[in-house]
A and B are shown apart, each in its own frame.
Chain A
Protein backbone atom coordinates (compact mmCIF):
# COMPACT_ATOMS: atom_id res chain seq x y z
CA UNK A 1 0.00 0.00 0.00
CA UNK A 2 2.86 2.34 0.82
CA UNK A 3 4.49 1.99 -2.58
CA UNK A 4 1.56 3.03 -4.84
CA UNK A 5 0.74 5.75 -2.34
CA UNK A 6 4.25 7.21 -2.53
CA UNK A 7 4.38 6.92 -6.31
CA UNK A 8 1.09 8.83 -6.44
CA UNK A 9 2.39 11.46 -4.02
CA UNK A 10 5.64 12.07 -5.88
CA UNK A 11 3.86 12.31 -9.24
CA UNK A 12 1.02 14.52 -8.04
CA UNK A 13 3.36 16.46 -5.78
CA UNK A 14 5.50 17.47 -8.71
CA UNK A 15 2.96 17.63 -11.52
CA UNK A 16 -0.35 18.37 -9.80
CA UNK A 17 -2.13 21.68 -9.72
CA UNK A 18 -0.96 24.07 -7.02
CA UNK A 19 -1.96 27.65 -6.21
CA UNK A 20 0.20 30.37 -7.71
CA UNK A 21 1.50 32.44 -4.82
CA UNK A 22 4.21 35.10 -4.67
CA UNK A 23 7.52 34.27 -2.94
CA UNK A 24 6.44 30.65 -2.45
CA UNK A 25 6.10 29.99 -6.18
CA UNK A 26 6.55 26.29 -6.86
CA UNK A 27 8.00 25.65 -3.40
CA UNK A 28 4.43 25.30 -2.15
CA UNK A 29 4.89 21.72 -3.37
CA UNK A 30 7.21 21.22 -0.41
CA UNK A 31 3.96 20.83 1.54
CA UNK A 32 3.99 17.25 0.27
CA UNK A 33 7.62 16.57 1.20
CA UNK A 34 8.64 18.76 4.15
CA UNK A 35 5.47 18.89 6.23
CA UNK A 36 4.83 15.09 6.23
CA UNK A 37 8.29 14.64 7.79
CA UNK A 38 6.99 16.33 10.94
CA UNK A 39 3.71 14.43 10.85
CA UNK A 40 5.63 11.19 10.43
CA UNK A 41 7.96 12.13 13.28
CA UNK A 42 5.05 12.86 15.63
CA UNK A 43 3.33 9.58 14.79
CA UNK A 44 6.58 7.65 15.31
CA UNK A 45 7.30 9.35 18.63
CA UNK A 46 3.67 8.79 19.57
CA UNK A 47 4.10 5.07 18.86
CA UNK A 48 7.20 5.15 21.02
CA UNK A 49 5.19 6.64 23.89
CA UNK A 50 2.53 3.96 23.42
CA UNK A 51 5.10 1.16 23.65
CA UNK A 52 6.85 2.89 26.57
CA UNK A 53 3.57 2.86 28.48
CA UNK A 54 3.06 -0.76 27.48
CA UNK A 55 6.52 -1.58 28.81
CA UNK A 56 5.87 0.13 32.12
CA UNK A 57 2.57 -1.75 32.42
CA UNK A 58 3.75 -5.20 31.38
CA UNK A 59 7.50 -5.18 31.90
CA UNK A 60 7.92 -6.93 28.56
CA UNK A 61 11.27 -5.89 27.03
CA UNK A 62 9.88 -6.33 23.50
CA UNK A 63 7.83 -3.18 24.04
CA UNK A 64 10.96 -1.28 25.03
CA UNK A 65 12.75 -2.40 21.88
CA UNK A 66 9.84 -1.09 19.83
CA UNK A 67 9.80 2.21 21.69
CA UNK A 68 13.53 2.72 21.13
CA UNK A 69 13.39 1.80 17.45
CA UNK A 70 10.54 4.19 16.68
CA UNK A 71 12.44 7.03 18.32
CA UNK A 72 15.47 6.25 16.14
CA UNK A 73 13.59 6.53 12.86
CA UNK A 74 11.48 9.38 14.23
CA UNK A 75 14.66 11.34 14.91
CA UNK A 76 15.81 10.71 11.34
CA UNK A 77 12.49 12.15 10.14
CA UNK A 78 12.94 15.13 12.45
CA UNK A 79 16.43 15.86 11.14
CA UNK A 80 15.16 15.61 7.56
CA UNK A 81 12.32 17.94 8.51
CA UNK A 82 14.79 20.46 9.91
CA UNK A 83 17.18 20.31 6.94
CA UNK A 84 14.46 20.52 4.29
CA UNK A 85 12.83 23.29 6.30
CA UNK A 86 16.10 25.23 6.35
CA UNK A 87 16.43 24.91 2.59
CA UNK A 88 12.84 26.02 2.08
CA UNK A 89 13.35 28.93 4.48
CA UNK A 90 16.45 30.12 2.61
CA UNK A 91 14.48 30.63 -0.58
CA UNK A 92 11.29 32.02 0.90
CA UNK A 93 12.19 33.77 4.16
CA UNK A 94 15.71 34.71 3.09
CA UNK A 95 17.74 32.88 5.72
CA UNK A 96 18.45 29.26 6.51
CA UNK A 97 17.84 30.01 10.15
CA UNK A 98 15.84 33.10 11.04
CA UNK A 99 15.22 32.14 14.68
CA UNK A 100 11.62 31.51 13.89
CA UNK A 101 9.96 30.23 17.10
CA UNK A 102 8.93 27.02 15.41
CA UNK A 103 12.43 26.45 14.06
CA UNK A 104 13.95 26.97 17.49
CA UNK A 105 11.32 24.86 19.22
CA UNK A 106 11.79 21.96 16.86
CA UNK A 107 15.58 22.21 17.26
CA UNK A 108 15.13 21.99 21.04
CA UNK A 109 12.75 19.08 20.50
CA UNK A 110 15.37 17.27 18.45
CA UNK A 111 17.92 17.90 21.22
CA UNK A 112 15.57 16.26 23.71
CA UNK A 113 15.35 13.18 21.52
CA UNK A 114 19.13 13.14 20.95
CA UNK A 115 19.24 13.03 24.75
CA UNK A 116 16.94 10.00 24.64
CA UNK A 117 19.20 8.16 22.21
CA UNK A 118 22.32 9.04 24.23
CA UNK A 119 20.60 7.87 27.41
CA UNK A 120 19.71 4.56 25.82
CA UNK A 121 23.21 4.13 24.52
CA UNK A 122 24.82 4.86 27.88
CA UNK A 123 22.84 2.49 30.10
CA UNK A 124 24.15 -1.05 30.05
CA UNK A 125 21.55 -2.82 32.14
CA UNK A 126 18.53 -3.71 29.99
CA UNK A 127 15.94 -3.32 32.72
CA UNK A 128 17.29 0.04 33.88
CA UNK A 129 17.55 1.25 30.32
CA UNK A 130 14.01 0.15 29.52
CA UNK A 131 12.49 1.71 32.64
CA UNK A 132 14.35 5.03 32.52
CA UNK A 133 14.03 5.55 28.78
CA UNK A 134 10.31 4.68 28.89
CA UNK A 135 9.72 7.41 31.44
CA UNK A 136 11.97 9.79 29.48
CA UNK A 137 10.09 9.07 26.25
CA UNK A 138 6.74 9.90 27.85
CA UNK A 139 8.05 13.16 29.28
CA UNK A 140 9.90 14.07 26.09
CA UNK A 141 6.74 13.63 24.05
CA UNK A 142 4.64 15.65 26.45
CA UNK A 143 7.19 18.48 26.18
CA UNK A 144 7.62 18.18 22.41
CA UNK A 145 3.95 18.54 21.52
CA UNK A 146 3.39 21.90 23.24
CA UNK A 147 6.85 23.00 22.13
CA UNK A 148 6.13 22.50 18.45
CA UNK A 149 2.36 22.75 18.15
CA UNK A 150 1.27 25.10 20.90
CA UNK A 151 3.95 27.59 21.94
CA UNK A 152 4.80 28.94 18.46
CA UNK A 153 1.16 29.87 18.05
CA UNK A 154 1.39 32.40 20.89
CA UNK A 155 4.17 34.39 19.28
CA UNK A 156 4.86 35.73 15.84
CA UNK A 157 6.14 33.02 13.59
CA UNK A 158 6.98 32.88 9.94
CA UNK A 159 5.27 29.52 9.73
CA UNK A 160 1.75 29.71 8.35
CA UNK A 161 -1.13 29.63 10.76
CA UNK A 162 0.90 31.04 13.66
CA UNK A 163 0.54 34.39 15.39
CA UNK A 164 -1.85 35.69 12.76
CA UNK A 165 0.90 35.40 10.22
CA UNK A 166 -0.34 36.01 6.70
CA UNK A 167 0.65 33.12 4.57
CA UNK A 168 -0.89 30.23 2.88
CA UNK A 169 -2.97 27.98 5.04
CA UNK A 170 -3.50 24.58 3.44
CA UNK A 171 -6.55 23.93 5.55
CA UNK A 172 -8.74 26.69 4.22
CA UNK A 173 -7.04 27.50 0.93
CA UNK A 174 -6.40 25.32 -2.04
CA UNK A 175 -8.85 22.54 -1.45
CA UNK A 176 -7.39 20.59 -4.37
CA UNK A 177 -4.09 20.17 -2.54
CA UNK A 178 -5.73 17.99 0.10
CA UNK A 179 -6.12 14.84 -2.05
CA UNK A 180 -2.34 14.89 -2.37
CA UNK A 181 -1.44 16.19 1.08
CA UNK A 182 -3.26 13.54 3.15
CA UNK A 183 -1.90 10.59 1.15
CA UNK A 184 1.52 12.25 1.44
CA UNK A 185 1.28 12.30 5.23
CA UNK A 186 0.01 8.72 5.29
CA UNK A 187 2.64 7.51 2.81
CA UNK A 188 5.63 9.08 4.53
CA UNK A 189 4.38 7.92 7.92
CA UNK A 190 4.03 4.36 6.62
CA UNK A 191 7.58 4.52 5.26
CA UNK A 192 8.68 5.58 8.74
CA UNK A 193 6.88 2.66 10.37
CA UNK A 194 8.22 0.28 7.75
CA UNK A 195 11.83 1.26 8.46
CA UNK A 196 11.04 1.31 12.18
CA UNK A 197 9.81 -2.26 11.85
CA UNK A 198 13.10 -3.27 10.20
CA UNK A 199 14.99 -1.75 13.13
CA UNK A 200 12.75 -3.63 15.57
CA UNK A 201 13.35 -6.94 13.79
CA UNK A 202 17.09 -6.30 13.80
CA UNK A 203 17.12 -5.47 17.50
CA UNK A 204 14.99 -8.49 18.35
CA UNK A 205 17.54 -10.69 16.58
CA UNK A 206 20.40 -9.10 18.51
CA UNK A 207 18.45 -9.53 21.72
CA UNK A 208 17.82 -13.22 21.06
CA UNK A 209 21.48 -13.73 20.23
CA UNK A 210 22.55 -12.13 23.48
CA UNK A 211 20.17 -14.41 25.37
CA UNK A 212 21.61 -17.47 23.62
CA UNK A 213 25.13 -16.40 24.57
CA UNK A 214 24.08 -16.16 28.18
Chain B
Protein backbone atom coordinates (compact mmCIF):
# COMPACT_ATOMS: atom_id res chain seq x y z
CA UNK B 1 0.00 0.00 0.00
CA UNK B 2 2.69 2.39 1.06
CA UNK B 3 4.70 1.24 -1.89
CA UNK B 4 1.88 2.02 -4.31
CA UNK B 5 1.40 5.48 -2.87
CA UNK B 6 5.09 6.09 -3.10
CA UNK B 7 5.09 4.89 -6.71
CA UNK B 8 2.18 7.21 -7.46
CA UNK B 9 3.92 10.18 -5.96
CA UNK B 10 7.20 9.43 -7.64
CA UNK B 11 5.64 9.05 -11.09
CA UNK B 12 3.79 12.30 -10.52
CA UNK B 13 7.02 13.83 -9.45
CA UNK B 14 8.73 12.55 -12.55
CA UNK B 15 5.94 13.90 -14.74
CA UNK B 16 6.21 17.22 -12.95
CA UNK B 17 9.93 17.30 -13.53
CA UNK B 18 9.41 16.56 -17.20
CA UNK B 19 6.81 19.28 -17.38
CA UNK B 20 9.08 21.83 -15.74
CA UNK B 21 11.86 20.83 -18.09
CA UNK B 22 9.73 21.40 -21.20
CA UNK B 23 8.30 24.61 -19.84
CA UNK B 24 11.80 25.87 -19.25
CA UNK B 25 12.87 24.79 -22.71
CA UNK B 26 10.04 26.79 -24.22
CA UNK B 27 10.66 29.83 -22.08
CA UNK B 28 14.40 29.97 -22.67
CA UNK B 29 15.99 32.65 -24.88
CA UNK B 30 15.79 31.83 -28.54
CA UNK B 31 18.85 33.16 -30.28
CA UNK B 32 17.72 35.77 -32.80
CA UNK B 33 19.33 38.78 -34.39
CA UNK B 34 17.20 41.21 -32.46
CA UNK B 35 19.96 43.24 -30.91
CA UNK B 36 18.36 46.42 -32.18
CA UNK B 37 15.30 45.82 -30.02
CA UNK B 38 17.27 44.85 -26.93
CA UNK B 39 18.80 47.09 -24.25
CA UNK B 40 16.08 49.71 -24.58
CA UNK B 41 16.77 50.11 -28.33
CA UNK B 42 19.90 52.13 -27.58
CA UNK B 43 21.50 50.75 -30.76
CA UNK B 44 18.91 52.60 -32.83
CA UNK B 45 20.31 55.81 -31.35
CA UNK B 46 23.89 54.66 -31.90
CA UNK B 47 23.11 53.90 -35.56
CA UNK B 48 21.37 57.26 -35.96
CA UNK B 49 24.48 59.05 -34.71
CA UNK B 50 26.61 56.91 -37.03
CA UNK B 51 24.42 57.67 -40.07
CA UNK B 52 24.66 61.40 -39.41
CA UNK B 53 28.41 61.20 -38.90
CA UNK B 54 28.95 59.07 -42.02
CA UNK B 55 26.71 61.35 -44.08
CA UNK B 56 28.56 64.49 -43.06
CA UNK B 57 31.93 62.78 -43.53
CA UNK B 58 30.94 61.67 -47.05
CA UNK B 59 30.02 65.25 -47.91
CA UNK B 60 33.35 66.47 -46.50
CA UNK B 61 35.25 63.86 -48.54
CA UNK B 62 33.38 65.01 -51.66
CA UNK B 63 34.29 68.62 -50.86
CA UNK B 64 37.88 67.64 -50.12
CA UNK B 65 38.20 65.94 -53.51
CA UNK B 66 36.85 69.01 -55.28
CA UNK B 67 39.30 71.27 -53.45
CA UNK B 68 42.19 68.90 -54.28
CA UNK B 69 41.24 69.17 -57.96
CA UNK B 70 41.24 72.96 -57.70
CA UNK B 71 44.68 72.90 -56.06
CA UNK B 72 46.08 70.75 -58.81
CA UNK B 73 44.76 73.14 -61.46
CA UNK B 74 46.31 76.25 -59.96
Residues of A within 8 A of B (CB): 10, 13-14, 24-27, 29-30, 33-34, 37, 73, 76, 79-80, 83-84, 87-88, 91-92, 191, 195, 198-199, 202, 205-206, 209
Which residue numbers of B lie inside 8 Å of A, CB to CB?
36-37, 39-42, 44-45, 47-49, 51-52, 55-56, 59-60, 63, 66-67, 70, 73-74
B52–A25 touching, CB < 8 Å = no
Q: Can you sample 22 A-B contacts with CB below 8 Å? A: A13-B45, A25-B41, A25-B42, A26-B42, A26-B45, A30-B44, A30-B45, A33-B48, A37-B52, A76-B56, A80-B55, A83-B55, A84-B48, A87-B51, A88-B44, A91-B37, A91-B41, A195-B56, A198-B63, A202-B63, A205-B70, A209-B73
- Contact A33 B52, beta carbon cutoff 8 Å: yes
Q: Is the interface of A mostly helix, strand, loop or mixed?
A: helix
Secondary structure type dominating chain B contacts = helix
Contact status B36-A91, CB under 8 Å: yes
Q: Bound state CA distance, A195 and B59, in angstroms?
A: 9
Alpha-carbon separation in the docked complex, A91 to B45 (Å): 11
Partner of A206, one of B36, B39, B45, B70: B70
